[in-house]
Structure 1
Amino acid sequence: MPLSEHEQRMLEQMERALYAEDPKFASALEGSGLRTYTRRRVYQAVAGFLVGIALLMAGMVAQLIWVSVVGFLVMLGCAVLAVTGWRKAPKPGEQPAGAVRRPARPKRSMMDRIEERWQRRRDEQGH
């Protein structure tokens, strides 16, 4: 289902704000960068799961119940992260959802944008 015009504008504003706030993170989420980012998160979750197993075993050997419980919770949390990360990862050659490339708009002056917003508000209130 395509986004409405208002939703498209809101999405573009959020994208611009993300790029302005943290360009490195935003570029990591683009295209194949998203696949790499997600794959890295899954690998980190698997490593955390293995650490959880080690904690669980160490707690059992040392007979410290609280260490075993922490190990189990780490395992559980990492398993959830791995499964959700794996589901969200785009397939190779697939574009992630919401990554539809729009043609670049010509640069407009600030006054043009203000006038356009003013006109939109007048139209919305008038109808």
Structure 2
Amino acid sequence: MPLSEHEQRMLEQMERALYAEDPKFATALEGSGLRTYTRRRVYQAVAGFLVGIALLMAGMVWQQIWISVVGFLVMLGCAVLAVTGWRKAPKAGEQAGAGAGGAAGGPARRQAKPRRSMMNRIEDRWQRRRDEQGH
């Protein structure tokens, strides 16, 4: 359910007030979203891939085919997770204000390119998820 114009203005005012009062905290909150999640997911997938290699080799050493098959499946699943996580990870300039826009030169950058409100970003993500599930 989309917000009314009044609610959107109120939310944008609250965002601006948060940036004015504590820009470091606001930047930390903004940067802890999708980028951090996907980075952590990729690291976990790489670690799982290494565990899969260890299982594959252990199965070969102990001559237990089923351990090797499990290791291969773990490797395959983790490779898929790593690749999909890597593709979904936002690039450095995609998230407005997350990196360079926070501390050094933040207000000048915001004036040059207007920031999208947090609710607009959430609505866009929600719409993308609905579109992905529909196909």
TM-score by length of structure 1 reads 0.53
Which of residues 113, 117, 120 is equivalent to 1:101?
Answer: 117
> What SS does structure 1 have at the residue aligned with 2:31?
helix
CA distance in 1: counterparts of 2:118 and 2:41, whole angstroms: 29
Counterparts of 1:1-127 in structure 2 under 5 Å?
A: 9=2, 31-33=30-32, 34-95=34-95, 100-101=116-117
Aligned length: 75
| Shift in CA distance, 102/77, structure 1 to aligned 2, threshold 3 Å | closer
Return the index of the structure with the highest Cα Rg: 1
CA distance in 2: counterparts of 1:58 and 1:87, whole angstroms: 31
- Displacement after TM superposition at 1:92 (Å): 1.2
Provide the identity percentage.
77
CA distance in 1: counterparts of 2:72 and 2:56, whole angstroms: 6
CA distance in 2: counterparts of 1:79 and 1:48, whole angstroms: 9
> What SS does structure 2 have at the residue aligned with 1:94?
coil
Gapped runs of 5+ residues in structure 2? 4-28, 97-114, 120-135
| Shift in CA distance, 102/87, structure 1 to aligned 2, threshold 3 Å | closer
| Shift in CA distance, 74/81, structure 1 to aligned 2, threshold 3 Å | same
CA root-mean-square deviation: 2.5
Matched to 1:72, the amino acid is F
Gapped runs of 5+ residues in structure 1? 1-7, 11-29, 104-127
- Displacement after TM superposition at 1:102 (Å): 5.7
> What SS does structure 2 have at the residue aligned with 1:9?
coil
CA distance in 2: counterparts of 1:93 and 1:31, whole angstroms: 13
> What SS does structure 1 have at the residue aligned with 2:2?
helix
CA distance in 1: counterparts of 2:54 and 2:116, whole angstroms: 43
| Shift in CA distance, 84/31, structure 1 to aligned 2, threshold 3 Å | farther
TM-score by length of structure 2 reads 0.50
Q: Which runs of 4+ in 1 moved over 3 A?
A: none
> What SS does structure 1 have at the residue aligned with 2:72?
helix
